Structure 1
Amino acid sequence: QVEVLPTFHRYEPEVVAVIGPDSTRLALTTAAILSVFLIPEISYEATLETLSLKRFYPSFLRTIPSDKQQVKAIFLLLQRFGWTWVALLASDNAYGRDGLDALYKLLTASDVCVAYRGIIPINKDANSPELHNLVRILKDVRVNVTIVFSNRQSVRPFFEVVVQRNVSGMVWVGSEDWSLAQTIWQVPGIQSIGSVIGMSVEKIDAATERTGRTEAGGGIRGSAQLDCTQRCTGCRSISTVPDMYDAQASFNVYSAVYTVAHGLHDLLGCASGVCSKGTVYPWQLLQKIKQVNFTLYKSHISFDANGDIRKGYNVIMWNWSGPSWSFNVVGTFSVNPDSLSIDQGKILWHTKDNQAPTSVCSKACQPGEKRLQQSRHRCCFSCVACPAGTFLNRSDLYNCQSCRLDEWAPVRSEACFNRTIEFLSWSDPISWALLTPTILLMLLMAGLAVLFALNASTPVVKSAGGKMCFLMLGSLACACSSLFCHFGEPTWHTCLLRLPLLAVCFTIFLSCVATRSFQIICIFKLNVRWPALYEAWQRRKGPVLFIAASTAAQAVLCLAAEATSPSVPRRDYGAWAERVVLECGPIASASRTAASAYTVLLSACCFALSYAGKDLPASYNEAKCLTCSLLLQLACSATVLCTQGALRGQVAAVARVLSSLCTLGALLGGYFLPKAFVILLRPHLNTPEHFQMAIQRYTRRLAA
């Protein structure tokens, strides 16, 4: 008859702690039952992550790390060697399937792709069609790295089939259950399968490992001395036992026994020298076991809140370089925080150059190339260069991102760069090369004005137009000053003055030239046929009216241009990819073209009038010089009109300034410099007698 107690608070069981069992499947059952009674259960083999759930298994602890840590270690190992194209295999039990699911979940959340997931059937031999089909699929997926999360019983026939089907040159990543199992490395021909790298629970030096030997009055070897009454007889060094003996499992058992001993030692107050004889309840012992913290042969023993031991893994690698099988510890995985360290010098790969094999579906793209996914696996892709104006952000390898408006990027770029702001700066060497002749030209105009003012009563100055010369020189100087508006960062004022100042002042000069040429033609050619024409021209103030009307027409065109399309500073982002052009816009419009065309038309009129007077007396004939000057001015104007849409930025500003300089210099040189030459170097030609003789020779030539 079973007596049902009202509470377990004072329940005195025959057993206060359980060590074991040695499998995950059995531990799931015992942990569920013992947790009802809060009897501490310390497993040395069960690694299933589910057992860490204290809601279901409050009294379960273990001296072997959880599979959760092993999965993290394998994941970090894959990342360490850049293996992104792998296959996952697991045994058909709770250990394998749970490890497979946890690892798959972690890999799919990263940049590692799982080419194939397979289950190794249990209780099969090397003749099993299922195993042969599994290996065939593994060869077809063409991966170089396969992770085998399995127990040792299931994985042996699998590797027998791998050897039979001549699968070689691969990397096999093993879980801790089989990576050091003797039954696996004894498979005939397994040396040919490639490199085997696996996980192994952290071990202490086997030469110092001893099973629990105690001496009467000596206590347990550890961080605390226990007053025990039993003697261990027949205890041996673990390193002297046969190979079949699982040294690591033995040390896990050893650690579990010491854990219970330390819990009892603390619960009974043995630290004072005398242990209490009171009743030990399982739930009391459970609390003490959770708090143990001691060192056992250089191995630290303590548990976290989930009852998992704070212990990492060794990364081991099989070594066939000697006469028999051995392994090297090539790295370690530590917890809290999780970290993996690998000693590359200890690794012996199966490759000819002893370099780590690669396992990728597609080779990495070149910098600045995005990935174009070709299948459901994101690791399988083709590479497409990011076009100009876009860049590849390393956080998103599948899309090229556009640069901002004030940035640029070349083809295959991984970053955007600030665009250079371009304008004709005052400090640029080309600016100084243009400003120097501009200033010299203005000084020359001022000098000519002074020279003509000092010789205003001479025939040369009078024939050049008299007082009109000063208006012409002033307009040229004003037009020359407009060139300064092309230098420096454009502002609203410089953009507004640039076109009207040049066009209006240039129109005044051309109008004066046209008026003077027309008057001379009237005097020498038209006065014979229409004698009243010149008289009416002078009486009605024709020169003033023509100059004023012509200038007013140009002013109206300039005002219309500013009204319809105001010239304001603007940034042109479309001229060049790497530069932003800071200019006055718009560059070309119908009204601005009309203002320029009006100047060209007026130049053509001046050219026609000058050419018509080519046979006049030499003192009044500037046809040669003025014709060449006007031809140069027409050529420069035509060049500016034709290239104003093609040239942009600094080049366009230089072209406009250079064209204006050439025009102004040519007109100044063609009209005023010959007269200055006569005044300064040929004073005998600057007399009324010389002019009278020239007129008489012209009259006689006409009469003849």
Structure 2
Amino acid sequence: MSWFPWLFTLWSPSALSLLLLNAMDRHTGLEVVQAIVCSRWGVPINKSLSQDGDVIIGGLFNLYYKRSAVEHGFTKLPHYEPCTGLELESLKNAYTMTFAVEEINRNSTLLPGVKLGYRILDSCASSYWAQQVALSLVGGGAPSCNLTPSTPRSAAHGQPGETAAGQPVPLLIGTSSSTSTIVVSRVLGPLSVPLISYLASCPCLSDRLNFPNVFRTIPSDIYQAQAMARMAIRFRWTWMGAVIVNNDYGHLAIQAFQEETRGKGVCFEFIETVLKGTIVSDASRVALTIQASTARVILVFCWYTEIKEVFLELAKINVTDRQFLASEAWSTSDDLLQDLDISKVASGVVGVAIRSSTIPGFENYLRSLHPMRRPDDTFLREFWEKEFGCSLGATQSHAASLFPAKGSSQKASLPLCSGTESLEGLKNTFTDISQLRVAYNVYLAVYAAAHALHSLLSCPDRESSSENNSSTCSSPKHIKPKELLQHLNKLNFTTPQGDMFYFQGADIPAKYDLVNWQETPEGSLKLVLIGRVDGFDLHLNESAIQWSTGSNQVPVSVCTESCPPGTRKANRKGEPLCCFDCIQCAEGEISNQTDSLHCERCPSEFWSNAKQTACIPLQLDFLSFNETLGITLTTVALSGAAVTTAVFVMFLCYRQTPMVRANNSELSFLLLLSLKLCFLCSLVFIGRPSVWSCRFQQAAFGISFVLCVSCLLIKTVVVLAVFRSARPGAGALMKWFGPGQQRGSVCLFTSIQIIICVTWLSLSPPVPQRDLGFQGSTVTLECAMASVVGFSLVLGYIGLLACTCLLLAFLARKLPDNFNEAKLITFSMLIFCAVWVAFVPAYISSPGKYTVAVEIFAILASSYGLLLCIFAPKCFIILFRPEKNTKKHLMAR
């Protein structure tokens, strides 16, 4: 709001202060200032409500609100006509002040021996008239340009008496707007005259440097904005609209709201402004904006007159699904609550309201008011005649002198009052005390003034006549506003309602009511108390709220639905922070909160669950006998062992036949035994790895295969030796390859492998270890090779024997014989070598438990290759070609 900067272009506060402080006396200075003011702004209504007393306090109320329209052509100095239209709510507030003063005067302990008086004037909702009447009150004069402060007047109720008008007031209660309070404070600040406002809520007034003489019984707007922000956060309204009045009230409030919600994820889709002078076009624009918006909750910081126009426009276009959050400026407006045209639009409004309280005895006081008992109360006369539609003829002549001529002619046409009219059964804004909000602030302001006066007028020891004590006492007739200001700053008392009251600088502790507009059977709206604000604490009864939807379900107003646990928020480029996408957390990452900004990686040995909401211990994974792969490999291994056993039994049964005897039956049986061990050793690799299983499986594998390959190598060497011995001079060769030498050679080759295994397993054996390298919900339990050298030596030794056997078998493949076993050994060793050459890269690249499966597959494949290539042809001849199982056939070339 512009605090009327042009006001100070006519004369600045500093110039005015200089004038006031340099005047010969206080009255003379104020007369000069009043003359300047009157020359610019004319004369306000010459009416007052006053009561004589030892100490007079002043009151400023907006008793009239309809200002006459005056065109300013900028060709002469501005002039304003007095305003009309009695404001009943303000009139009730004024009588609250009179009631509080009379109640204090009846209190024998608060101001003993001191009668408190008052002088109440109308400021006409205008900062310039508020300034003029404030100057007249402080100077002790009348608000008239043609009267001096010393002009004698009749002492009467309703017309300033000699004492009431002539005695300057040391303290003012008012005004009812921040603008007027700022203007009046700047004028009266150099005089240190305290100003206690009951309705000025601008945060700027908390500045003690610029406004040292201002106090107020209403909290700063900062607190109501913070309370509304906490409600938005509580109900998770992250996507809102705002309608504010285009002045400091609206802009400072929305700024405070945004500061309170900063970092809490609350965004505004729009912030629309309205102004009283252009409200028709503004209301239409705002209504269309609300209709087009996706925000379901609308924050409103403006006066009831502006929001009423907006509501009417919304009703025209049938927008009834918005939830409005109201500021205290309109949250308790009867004008809105009783308007049936906007009831559908405004239903469910939740707002912050000035706290209400009861004032015992005030209702009886109001209803007992009567013009007969207060004949000079012009405000009561006007209210009475307007309310009852009759004229108080007994005092017609006196009333005519107070009203304009037009008003007098209207009164003359009214019938005379019968005298039986009473406020006892009357129901209107004036007599309604169910919600005493601003009135209670006025009540508190009067008591604050009284307690400050009590503190100022109290002496530590009234019976002592010492100069020290007498210097601390003030006389009611010589109260200095500056001293009263000091006592207000230190004020601390208990109200008649039992509440602690004190000022924190200019402010009182923040206390508000939380209200809700609920539908009534008649179609209008009623005000329901749903909670309160006490400082920073928000006490809210959510179950008592009836929302705009007509239910108890809290409205949802978000740009994007909240991201559930297991996802994270990803902002959309170029859009507000409240508009985002929900991205699923990657595997191994979690988010366990709603609207999480980041996904957190699980610690080692933990993995995310299926929903990515919690880290769970990794499941141990190993090749077990229960899974499909384990069952398959076990079946293949046992089948191989069974076939080998069957071949062994067959050879044992046919051991006397040429086919068995011709191919070194002893080594054949030993070879079958080693093959069976090869098949069975693969089973050791299946199952949960343990310390002993890790050691045994590699040893069993290495020794079994060396035994197998050693038998084949010796068989091949014997074949070569037999054919070499048939040459002349080579007969002695066979003595080196007799049965004993064959068995010894097999044992020698096998012993070397045993020594390698024992050394390896003694120095650095494989141990069970959890493999975290493979990302997943499981951790592989495997036998880790602590020494790659040991494993390489085992494989390398097997490979050396296999390659040697392959080479010798390849050389012996064409030896003349009808059944040359060297050919079978060649094919078998080719398969063996091919399998183990392919094993190395497959073993290295296989993840987790599949490493073990690759090794088992290599063992089984090579074992089956040896079994089938060497023994299958022999078994076929033994079983299905017995005619070829003869010495003659075998020896044939």
> The residue matched to 1:42 in structure 2 has which SS?
strand
Counterpart in the other structure of 2:126: none
The superposition leaves residues 31-52 of structure 1 with CA deviations (integer Å, 9 ceiling, x where unpaired) of 3444444443221101111212
Gaps of 5+ in 1: 6-11, 214-232, 442-459, 672-695
Counterpart in the other structure of 1:355: 553
TM-score (norm 2): 0.55
For 1:203, give the aligned amino acid: S
Q: CA 1:476 to 1:607, structure 2 compared with 1: closer, same or farther past 3 Å? A: farther
- Out of 257, 261, 264, the residue aligned to residue 450 of structure 2 is 261
Counterpart in the other structure of 1:96: 250
1:382 and 2:581 correspond: yes
Note if contact 2:619-2:778 (Cα within 8 Å) is conserved in structure 1.
Answer: yes
Shift of 1:639: 9.2
Identity of aligned residues (%): 22
> The residue matched to 1:247 in structure 2 has which SS?
coil
Q: CA 1:50 to 1:365, structure 2 compared with 1: closer, same or farther past 3 Å? A: same
Counterpart in the other structure of 1:335: 534
Counterpart in the other structure of 1:292: 492
Shift of 1:111: 1.0
Shift of 1:552: 11
Shift of 1:470: 10
Equivalents in 1 of 2:172, 2:353: separation in Å?
Answer: 25
- Out of 160, 170, 181, the residue aligned to residue 27 of structure 1 is 181
Counterpart in the other structure of 1:219: none
Note if contact 1:504-1:554 (Cα within 8 Å) is conserved in structure 2.
Answer: yes
Write out aligned runs for 1:121-160 (5 A).
121-124=275-278, 126=280, 129-160=281-312
Q: CA RMSD in A?
A: 6.0
Note if contact 1:18-1:39 (Cα within 8 Å) is conserved in structure 2.
Answer: yes
Shift of 1:176: 0.7
Note if contact 1:176-1:200 (Cα within 8 Å) is conserved in structure 2.
Answer: yes
Equivalents in 2 of 1:239, 1:54: separation in Å?
Answer: 46
Q: CA 1:394 to 1:46, structure 2 compared with 1: closer, same or farther past 3 Å? A: same
Counterpart in the other structure of 1:535: 732
Note if contact 2:339-2:524 (Cα within 8 Å) is conserved in structure 1.
Answer: no
- Out of 367, 371, 382, the residue aligned to residue 565 of structure 2 is 367
Write out aligned runs for 1:172-251 (5 A).
172-195=324-347, 196-205=349-358, 209=362, 242-244=428-430, 247-251=436-440
Write out aligned runs for 1:415-434 (5 A).
415-420=614-619, 422=621
Shift of 1:413: 1.9
Counterpart in the other structure of 1:322: 521
> The residue matched to 1:506 in structure 2 has which SS?
helix
Aligned length: 620
Equivalents in 2 of 1:411, 1:350: separation in Å?
Answer: 39
Equivalents in 2 of 1:702, 1:387: separation in Å?
Answer: 72
> The residue matched to 1:334 in structure 2 has which SS?
strand
Shift of 1:494: 10
Counterpart in the other structure of 2:91: none
> The residue matched to 1:367 in structure 2 has which SS?
coil
Note if contact 2:241-2:268 (Cα within 8 Å) is conserved in structure 1.
Answer: yes
Q: CA 1:101 to 1:260, structure 2 compared with 1: closer, same or farther past 3 Å? A: same
Gaps of 5+ in 2: 1-21, 27-138, 140-166, 367-379, 382-421, 465-471, 642-660, 871-884
Counterpart in the other structure of 1:278: 474
Equivalents in 2 of 1:665, 1:206: separation in Å?
Answer: 105
> The residue matched to 1:90 in structure 2 has which SS?
strand
Equivalents in 1 of 2:437, 2:889: separation in Å?
Answer: 134
Shift of 1:267: 3.7
Equivalents in 1 of 2:777, 2:749: separation in Å?
Answer: 44
Q: CA 1:272 to 1:487, structure 2 compared with 1: closer, same or farther past 3 Å? A: farther
Equivalents in 2 of 1:116, 1:540: separation in Å?
Answer: 102
For 2:566, give the aligned amino acid: G
Shift of 1:360: 1.4
Q: CA 1:488 to 1:367, structure 2 compared with 1: closer, same or farther past 3 Å? A: closer
Q: CA 1:421 to 1:603, structure 2 compared with 1: closer, same or farther past 3 Å? A: farther
Counterpart in the other structure of 1:226: none
> The residue matched to 2:277 in structure 1 has which SS?
coil
For 2:238, give the aligned amino acid: T
For 1:93, give the aligned amino acid: N
Equivalents in 2 of 1:419, 1:512: separation in Å?
Answer: 46
Q: CA 1:612 to 1:509, structure 2 compared with 1: closer, same or farther past 3 Å? A: farther
Equivalents in 2 of 1:477, 1:611: separation in Å?
Answer: 31
Shift of 1:135: 2.0
Write out aligned runs for 1:508-527 (5 A).
508-516=707-715, 518-519=717-718, 522-523=721-722, 526=723
Counterpart in the other structure of 2:224: 70
Shift of 1:613: 13
For 2:718, give the aligned amino acid: Q
Note if contact 1:315-1:332 (Cα within 8 Å) is conserved in structure 2.
Answer: yes
> The residue matched to 2:494 in structure 1 has which SS?
strand
Equivalents in 2 of 1:595, 1:54: separation in Å?
Answer: 96
For 2:568, give the aligned amino acid: K
Q: CA 1:644 to 1:569, structure 2 compared with 1: closer, same or farther past 3 Å? A: same
Shift of 1:482: 11
> The residue matched to 2:437 in structure 1 has which SS?
helix
For 1:70, give the aligned amino acid: Q
Equivalents in 1 of 2:364, 2:195: separation in Å?
Answer: 20
TM-score (norm 1): 0.68
